[in-house]
Structure 1
Amino acid sequence: MIRNREGLAKTGAHETALDCIEAGIEAAQPTRVMNEALELDGRELTVGDATVDLDGYDEVVVVGGGKAAAQMATVIEDVLGEWLTDGVVVTNDPQETSRIRVVEGSHPTPNEAGEEGARRVLSLADGATGETLVLCLISGGGSALLPAPVDGVSLAELQSLTDDLLSSGATIHEINAVRKHLSAIKGGQLAAAAAPATVHSLLVSDVVGDDPSVIASGPTVPDESTYADALAVLERYDIQPSTAVEAHLEEGVAGERPETPAAGDSVFEQARLHVLANGFTALAAARTVAEERGYTPVILSSRIEGEAREAAKTHAAIAEEARASANPVSPPAVFLSGGETTVTLRGDGTGGPNQEFVLSGALTVESAGVVVASVDTDGKDGASDVAGALADRETLDNRRQARTALATNDVSPYLVERNAVIETGKTGTNVNDLRVLVVDDTDSP
């Protein structure tokens, strides 16, 4: 899975970090979790903890979007066979399918193909009736891959706004509050289009806390955010939207446009939700590997957020505390965390939150016996083409240059020059970041 593993596996501690990362990504593979969640016995389809009698429906359709959507679609095709009537999903990782149309969009900035695919998804849902079973496949990245901008707002305007939001340091909750109110599909509106059909949503979560209203901007679940919330986000981060976007949001605040459907709305009466994998899925697998390698594993949290470089300092301090005082555990130990950190852009370099985490962590640790690794489980860290990085104190042969790289958000070239980036390519899943700190009980390699 890690293409350049050989060059990264310098010591046993480095190998352990890489093993933990590979195990975490593998555990969250959509084909794996889908096969575990789905079973067809005659006419009865088991979806998670629910059983559906397929004889009760005239048609079964599949819709959805996200980085894992196509892989999820291949499994559901195999399971349903002739029961499947139609389907369309949008992804940036296309797979070969026979019945479900796969549209390739882009992430993190939406494109025309994604918009076209989102319109197809919306159209198929809109044609559903009370005798339709809709299986909705949702995973991380669905917000960008299912744009469907509202009337009066162009895709170009949405693209520009998305770029501004992503570089602002806003949280995913804040970004999605804006996107929901500029979309015809997000914030429960896909469920509204499909009503009164029965809708079962299968989710691979990339959201801290697994809030389904945030995963892919919650197309099939109630939305508690408002137009006022969306405008407040733009004001908070000093983002000036286009005239059309600002007008649309202000009209919503004034009550001239309907809000997204909230809890208690009748459109959700036949909607069910199943979270198949999340950040803890990856952490649990990494924990098992660390234990098998003879380390004491500690999962710090699956909910780490905030500025990547600052989170790294806290993680590094925990590792140093373990070496100095055997708290919270004695080395050899592996500290694990998940969640989604962010980067506030101050320069125009290349990198991503996971690479910034690693560089900041390696700058902070004082012991040679600490290895810092972090990846985005989808294989793409920020706007870079690598999953993340792995480093220790010895990696940083020029610490002044490393600090400059952090200050200018240009960490990727620095880490590439030192063979410290982790390359996986697209992994087909997305359950947020996976961070691994391996703490040995000696300073020797």
Structure 2
Amino acid sequence: MFENRESHARSPAHEVALDCLAAGVRRADPEHATRDAVAVEDDRLEITADERATVDLTEFDRVLVLGGGKAAPGVVRALHATLGDRIDDGLIVVSEDDPAAGGSIGAVTVAGGGHPLPTPEGVAATEDLLELAETADERTLVLAAVTGGASALLAAPAGDLSVGDLRRSTRALLDAGADIDEINAVRKHTSRVKGGRLAAAAAPATVRTLGVSDVVGDPPSVIGSGPTVPDGTTYADALAVIGRHGIDVPAIRTHLDAGDAGEFPETPAPDAGLPGTTYVVAGARTAIDAAAAVAAERGYEPCVLSSRVRGAARATAPTHVAIGEEAAIAGDPVEPPAVLLSGGEATVDVHGEGEGGPNMEFALAAALSLAGSADGAGDELVAAAIDTDGRDGATDAAGALVDAGTVEDRGAARDALDRNDSLGYLGRRDAALVTGATGTNVNDLRVLVVPDRGD
């Protein structure tokens, strides 16, 4: 899975870290997870995920598959394997560099769009998707594949907005360090597909959504900006977000002001009666549990710190290292050899022009903490963090693997962090991890290995 694995696997602890990361990504594979969650038996579609449901296929004349996201092709391949020619039509929007883009999976067209920022191609594909949704009737079953990345890929500007307006506002929100709830409040109120609007377009069809979650806690309304899920936010909430973060995109403010004044309809509220239910087939915990199983197989005690870590990546790293040091010295909260695990969605506050996403910022901050351990508690520890989709931020690296020796010049490392150039520093230290696109996206996976002293 990892390029140049041999150079990274320079000790048993490094090998365990790599194996845990790889297991987490593989177990979160959307095709594997969806195959485990769906089956057809006697004209009944059985869905077993976070909830259990049965859909009587004889009640429908037509089955459509709609959606998008980085992991959507895997979900659709599993649906095609399960339902075959029962699927009549469909369209999903995926990253334009996905090998599936431009082709089809059974009856489902796979169109390419832009990520992490929307593109005109994504807008055109989403327009086609909305037109297809509008052909649904009460005898139509819509199976929606909604995964991480759909927020950018499913792009349909509302009102007089352009794709350029959406790009500028999204970029500004990301650079300002806005959290996913804030970003989605704006996205939902500047889009004709997000915040339940896709389900509204498909009404009166029956909608069942299969989600692969890249957000903390797996709330369906946040995955891909919830195109099939009611929205609890308002135009006023979106205006508060852009005011709080000083987002200066005049067209966005004009549109939100008009919506707040009642010139545009609100997104469907939780009491709007949208015809759908969401089943999350994979999320952060899926990857963490698989990594924990591998750690145990290797003789390390797994300890899950949290699947919900959020906030600035560089700020969370010292705490992870401190817990690892406590385990190494005092055997709390777990006796070594141990592997500490976490997932979630960290962010980067951008104030420099370097390269590197949240996982590399986490890794570089962790390396600085390990190198600065006064009593040597961090000398043997190994830390790693990756984005499970294989791209950390806008880079081609998934993340990084570090130890106390990664940082030789603490001043240079701190300077790289201040310039948001974690990839620049870690790349020169041969610490960056490269996987290529993984086909899944359950966000961050972090591993901290605490070997027996002297290992």
DSSP 3-state at the match of 2:328: helix
1:45 aligns to what?
Answer: 45
1:134 aligns to what?
Answer: 142
Q: Say whether 1:297 aligns with 2:305.
A: no
1:439 aligns to what?
Answer: 450
Consecutive unaligned residues in structure 1, runs of 5 or more: none
Match of residue 261, structure 1, among 268, 282, 290:
268
1:428 aligns to what?
Answer: 439
Q: Output one character per residue of 1:361-418: Cα deviation in whole Å (capped at 9) or x when no partner.
A: 1111222211010000000001111100000011212222111101110111111111
Q: Output one character per residue of 1:55-93: Cα deviation in whole Å (capped at 9) or x when no partner.
A: 211100000010011121122122211211100000112
Consecutive unaligned residues in structure 2, runs of 5 or more: none
Root-mean-square deviation (CA, aligned residues, Å) is 1.1
After TM superposition, the runs of 4+ consecutive aligned structure 1 residues lying more than 4 A away are none
Which TM-score applies when normalising by structure 2?
0.95
2:22 aligns to what?
Answer: 22
- Structure 1 counterpart of 2:158, which letter? V
Distance 1:106 1:91 in 2: 8
Q: Say whether 1:110 aligns with 2:121.
A: no
1:316 aligns to what?
Answer: 321
> CA contact under 8 A between 1:94 and 1:103: conserved in structure 2?
no
Q: Output one character per residue of 1:76-126: Cα deviation in whole Å (capped at 9) or x when no partner.
A: 122211211100000112425231100011210011111111111111111
- Structure 2 counterpart of 1:411, which letter? S
> CA contact under 8 A between 1:63 and 1:88: conserved in structure 2?
yes
- Structure 1 counterpart of 2:123, which letter? E
> CA contact under 8 A between 2:208 and 2:278: conserved in structure 1?
yes
Q: Sequence identity, in percent?
A: 51
Match of residue 155, structure 1, among 138, 150, 163:
163
Q: How does 1:402-413 map to 2 (within 5 A)?
A: 402-413=413-424
2:212 aligns to what?
Answer: 204
Q: Output one character per residue of 1:232-289: Cα deviation in whole Å (capped at 9) or x when no partner.
A: 11111111113x22111001112222110111213x1x31211101100000000111
Once the two structures are overlaid, the 10-residue window that deviates more, 78-87 or 44-53, is 44-53
Residue 151 of structure 1 and its aligned partner are, at CA, apart by 2.3
> CA contact under 8 A between 2:66 and 2:91: conserved in structure 1?
yes
> CA contact under 8 A between 1:377 and 1:427: conserved in structure 2?
yes
> CA contact under 8 A between 1:368 and 1:443: conserved in structure 2?
no
Q: Say whether 1:3 aligns with 2:19.
A: no
1:75 aligns to what?
Answer: 78
Distance 2:111 2:398 in 1: 24
| Equivalent pairs, count | 441
2:65 aligns to what?
Answer: 62
DSSP 3-state at the match of 2:208: strand
DSSP 3-state at the match of 2:105: coil
Distance 1:83 1:441 in 2: 55
Distance 1:148 1:175 in 2: 16
2:425 aligns to what?
Answer: 414
Q: How does 1:80-91 map to 2 (within 5 A)?
A: 80-91=83-94
DSSP 3-state at the match of 1:357: helix
> CA contact under 8 A between 1:373 and 1:435: conserved in structure 2?
yes
> CA contact under 8 A between 2:90 and 2:108: conserved in structure 1?
yes
2:397 aligns to what?
Answer: 386
1:340 aligns to what?
Answer: 345
> CA contact under 8 A between 1:207 and 1:339: conserved in structure 2?
yes
Distance 2:110 2:80 in 1: 12
- Structure 2 counterpart of 1:33, which letter? A
Q: How does 1:327-406 map to 2 (within 5 A)?
A: 327-365=332-370, 366=373, 367-406=378-417
DSSP 3-state at the match of 1:208: coil
- Structure 1 counterpart of 2:310, which letter? E
> CA contact under 8 A between 1:168 and 1:345: conserved in structure 2?
yes
Which TM-score applies when normalising by structure 1?
0.97
> CA contact under 8 A between 2:313 and 2:347: conserved in structure 1?
yes
